[in-house]
Chains A and B, each alone.
Chain A
Amino acid sequence: MMEGLKRGSAAIVGVAESDLGQVADGLSVFDLMAQGVGRALDDCGLKLKDVDALFSATTQSRMSVLGLAEYLGINPPYLGSTIVGGSSFEYHVAHAMGAIALGLCNVAVIAYGSTQRSVGRKQASVREINPYESPFRPFLPASAYALAASRHMHQFGTTREQLAAVAVAAREWALLNPKAWEKKPLTIDGVLSSRMVSYPFTVRDCCLVTDGGGAIVVTSAERAKSLRKPAAYVLGCGQSTTHANISSMPDLTVTGALTSGKAAYQMARLGAADVDAVELYDAFTINTILFLEDLGFCKKGEGGAFVSGGRIAPKGSLAVNTNGGGLSYCHPGMYGLFLLIEAVRQLRGECGARQVKDCEVALAHGNGGVLSSQATVILGTQATL
């Protein structure tokens, strides 16, 4: 049997966003990554010279980690550029943890940047032709998720109103987050009556298109003790890839989160009931429902009812996507890093009006591609070790 990663052996000690939303004209993805790196190092009190592992992923540079190392003027012996879409950064955390455990590095920085709003989605991400899908002109990624939603509605009776409840809850959280892009309230009717994109999704069922980036700093539990702020220990990690293209997804109502979640819970020796703050990659409203089910917060098929009636909104029974999510806070292309940033801040108690009370365990679940690559990271405070 594989020994695997050791619960609590590494921690996220520094987190920061770059500028978000619509960034200043001419800023590059490396400018945004570097903003994040500088701020995240400052957050924990480490210096660039301490960094001996660098991870990055972006759609706007083919060898981004080289560009970033050059920009920062560092030559770290360990580089990682796993790119599996929005969950890349949850993979990076596990990979950094493994490298730290093996003694290959001690201070890993994971960075992201995107200027997709400024340069346009077409410029930010090269369209790949798939001869078995492209002729049918699916509006990707939205149509792939819409197909999954159609299945969920068919099999479990999930409604458009229930999907809309996810967007409304995200908006209510966003209104408590000064950094959120969206500043105005949203109603169920407001979601349903917006411009249709790919049925059953209107534009309000779909994530934002913003610029943004950030960075996090991962180090050993040992080193984490002496740093500026309370560490967020990595208690569990899990990854699962079920397909790349939606036409190859085995069952459109069951995601790899089932497998990645199980692995993460097992490593953390925790279950869904132990999680205080849940940060899920909400590229589309169906995501939140699928991941709540697959990560064990409710039964398969019951996600629609679970998210209704303000249950995942502020003052609801479960704190989900407390920063406002990709639907209302920011979504610069590959959102996974922001889930980790918010999870760490919740554990530290830094979240002001949106702070989850007595937050000891936070779960960040990244999604990449079209429900393709799933990665779960469970973080906890010192008390959970």
Chain B
Amino acid sequence: MPSNQDAPLKTYQDHLARNELAYQFSREAGRAVFYPRVLCPFTGSDQLEWRVSKGLGTVYATTVVHPADGKPFNVALIDCDEGFRLMSRVEDIAPEQVRIGQRVRFRVHRAEGDEDPYPVFAPVENA
């Protein structure tokens, strides 16, 4: 009998706490799954295995948010080399200098207060 399943989000965040960017892999589909879930969106299978990304990726899309108060900041979509895409931001350079096609490397943004850790990226040459 299946036992109660861990929340995919919890497993993901546990990996982040260990400085790891985790994703799922569907053997049946032969491809990565992100965000983490309990059912494969390609096959309907519940057999999803956890893997840890090498943390390298390419900027797929980018914008600079200009808040009414506060400094402009980057929001980007990153295509990781393992074949999954996630929202993140590119740090260490000015937000408007983030370029589509730029190679970036993952690191963990540490929790502040009640915040959970989350993945951010920096240009590979600066990493």
Contact = CB atoms under 8 A, between A and B. Distances in A.
- Secondary structure at chain B's binding surface: helix, strand, loop or mixed? strand
Given A136-B88, A136-B89, A252-B61, 5 more contacts: A136-B118, A146-B63, A154-B61, A154-B101, A199-B63
Q: Which 4 A-B pairs have the closest CB atoms?
A: A146-B63, A147-B61, A199-B64, A247-B87
Contacts of B35: 132, 247-248
A148 B12 CA distance: 27
Given A147-B75, A150-B61, A199-B64, A132 B100 contact: no
A137 interface: yes
B63 A198 contact: yes
A151 B66 contact: no
Contacts of A148: 61
A183 B17 CA distance: 54
14 contacts: A136-B75, A137-B73, A137-B75, A138-B63, A143-B65, A147-B61, A148-B61, A151-B60, A195-B66, A196-B66, A197-B65, A198-B63, A200-B63, A246-B87
Contacts of A131: 9, 116
Given A199-B66, A247-B77, A135 B100 contact: no
Nearest to B66: A196
Interface string B45-58: 00000000000000
A67 to B, nearest CB: 33
B64 A198 contact: yes
A248 B35 CA distance: 8
A72 to B, nearest CB: 40
B67 interface: yes
B66 A154 contact: no
A132 B87 contact: yes
